Amino acid sequence: MTNDEIFKTNISDYDWREVVALTEDLPSMPNITWKAISLLENENVSGEKLNNILSKDTALVTRILRIANSAIFARPREISTINQASMIIGYKTLKGIIYAASVRKMYEDMSDVQEKVWEHSIATAIFATNIATFLKKSYLDEVFFFGMLHSLGQLALLNLETTRREYKKVLDVIRDKSYSYLEAEQEVFGFTHSLVGALLAKKWNFPIKTCQVILHYLDPCETSIEKDEISEKTALVRLSSLLAHKLNIGSPEGYEVSLKEIPLLSKGVGFNIDTYKKDLDNICKISKEQFEKEKENY
């Protein structure tokens, strides 16, 4: 199955050509961000080269450093330069931070709804990082990136003139029927924001595996989780998002949280099924405190 076919299978009644046409209106990644993230794909890149690119935008650097000094990254000392950030927290984590800082700058004048979506993205990234840390995941340095990316499609839909007004109907459906985003977006658009986010990530030349995590994180988990890394990362993002919604972080009025999936998702990402409730309660407490304390840094 080709990449386009993977995307197409996530559309029901909406015309495929219309969805593709949406991508033409999706924003391009800022040039500085594109260059920086492209550099970070090379593990041998020097912090000096990265600094030379980012230093052209001092406001962006300031936001990057604020995020890099968040408690969730458990840095041994304060990070004051991009070079230090690359050495202390690693390139993959730094890539997620640069993305977060850049997107926040792109959508500087957020509406109230976009602010809620953004707060949920922050919380999901914090939950995902804390869960991966607790479970000692080998891909710990990637999960912040996935958490911040998962709602990318919502920000885009709320920013596009052609879909912004329609999205109010999504919120009305959630309020009136206690639906999730998946159910409400399917009813109004015939597709979900995860598809738009994956298309935008593809437009920005992110790896196809990253696009797949974004594309499938909304997929309901009913029976089991495949034993491969992409499925596990996707389940971890879904679990983190559900936990953030459970605490009502960034949730619209009437939002329905599918708590029945939490045990299966917890087992699928590696929690001990006998102790997962206690473990998740502790992670929720820590993550909520971190979110409340540090959300302004984002």
Say how far apart CA 97 and CA 89 lie, in whole Å.
10
Q: What is the pTM of this model?
A: 0.88
Topology of the domain comprising 3-27+110-297: Hypothetical protein af1432 (1.10.3210)
Written as one string, the DSSP assignment of the chain is --HHHHHHTT-SSS-HHHHHHHHHHSPPPPHHHHHHHHHHTSTT--HHHHHHHHTT-HHHHHHHHHHHTSGGG--SS---SHHHHHHHT-HHHHHHHHHHHHHHHHT-S--HHHHHHHHHHHHHHHHHHHHHHHTT-TTHHHHHHHHHHTTHHHHHHHHSHHHHHHHHHHHHHHHHH---HHHHHHHHTSS-HHHHHHHHHHHTT--HHHHHHHHHTTS---S---SSHHHHHHHHHHHHHHHHHHTTSSPPTTPPP-GGGHHHHHHHHT--TTTHHHHHHHHHHHHHHHHHHHGGG-
In this structure, which amino acid lies at residue 31?
Answer: N
What pLDDT sits at residue 249?
Answer: 96
User: Can you give the pLDDT at residue 202?
Assistant: 87
Q: What pLDDT score does 6 carry?
A: 45
- Give residue for tokens 């990254």: 73
List of the chain residues with pLDDT < 70: 1-21, 23, 43, 222-224
pLDDT for 123: 96
